Amino acid sequence: MYDVLILGSGPAGLTAALYAARGGKSTLVLGGTTLGGQMAGIATLENYPGFRGSGMQLAEFMADQAKSFGAEIKFVSAAGIAGDCESGFAIGCDDGQTYTGRTVIIATGASPRRLDIAGAREFMGRGVSYCATCDGFFYSGRNVMVLGGGNSALNDALYLADLANKVTIVYRKSEFFRAENVLRERVAARENIECLFNTDLERISSMPDGENGELIATTTDGRDIVVDGIFVAIGHEANTDYLTEDVSRDEMGRLMPEKMPDGVFVAGDVHSGVKMQIATAVGTGCTAAMDAIAYLNAKK
């Protein structure tokens, strides 16, 4: 039985692993399918203090640092949590194994919110994408659309503008209220980015002849825009589907630490009431690990 089981290998989970292992606690990270969570898909980090590079580079550095103090990382995903602080927690995973721990830190983060309109599911992976850094290369020299108006959407648009012929941003509000000013200025300065405000996507369909795999993006104000790819950045949803319905969640589906069972702690984007930033994920990961250490020490 491990002292600390950590669900998730994003910045919160890896920070928690570093602190827990360095605190002398046997630590296992159940890291999901890939290292780094959403951070791994960031091409260039500009607002994480003291570091400039890709998100994957930072994730690898964090993982190596945690492992240097004895933390273990397995790339499996939790399918459920059973047990309690007295008998220990049992985490069933998609590899068919069950891992047990005296405490659990939930740092499973959030995933991009899926677009729920006609054609969105049909063209998923065939023109509709939720990851610009993953799929942007396939649209070099072509015309693409970005749906959304927050930091993620504008970062995606700027990344794609370096690859694509033209980027069209579609946003349902009158301006980018939620995005940082520096991103708004950069978008405005790019000649191959066009912004369409006060409209949204109504449906996605293919060209009648299917030529070149182009799509028709129909907006709510009646425009048909022909594009090669559509990148969706309309927010995130907490990754908590593996938890039972009796676990308290806020209106965004995120977890409230004060309502978790004894011995269960929360960190990162799945944590209620915190900004979804790498810096805040690191802070909550540190806090969760220190709380878990104090909890374990008090049980001795």
Mean pLDDT of 127-134: 91
Superfamily of domain 2-111+236-299: FAD/NAD(P)-binding domain (3.50.50.60)
Mean pLDDT of 151-165: 96
How far, in Å, CA of 35 to CA of 109, rounded?
Answer: 12
Catalytic residue among 131, 200, 286, 291: 131
Q: Which of 240, 292, 277 is nearest to 18 (CA)?
A: 292
Better-predicted residue by pLDDT, 154 or 45: 154
Could you tell me the end-to-end alpha-carbon distance of the chain, in angstroms, rounded to an integer? 15
How far, in Å, CA of 152 to CA of 134, rounded?
Answer: 14
Whole-number pLDDT of residue 210: 58
Token duo for residue 188: 């405005």
> Is the CB of residue 247 less than 8 Å from the CB of residue 240?
yes
User: Known catalytic residue: 134?
Assistant: yes
Mean pLDDT of 263-280: 94
Q: Which of 17-21, 149-153, 209-213, 232-236 has the highest mean pLDDT?
A: 17-21
DSSP-assigned letters across all residues of 96-126 = S-EEEEEEEEE---EEEPPP-SBTTTTTBTT
Whole-number pLDDT of residue 156: 95
* Cβ within 8 Å of residue 262, ≥6 positions away: 84, 85, 295
Superfamily of domain 128-232: FAD/NAD(P)-binding domain (3.50.50.60)
Catalytic residue among 85, 135, 200, 286: 135
Catalytic residue among 64, 84, 134, 250: 134
Residue 169, classed as helix, strand or coil, is strand
Q: Where are the domains of the chain?
A: 2-111+236-299, 128-232
- Judged against a pLDDT cut of 70, whether residue 211 lies above it is answered with no
Mean pLDDT of 184-195: 98
Do the two domains 2-111+236-299 and 128-232 of this chain adopt the same fold?
yes
How far, in Å, CA of 231 to CA of 147, rounded?
Answer: 6
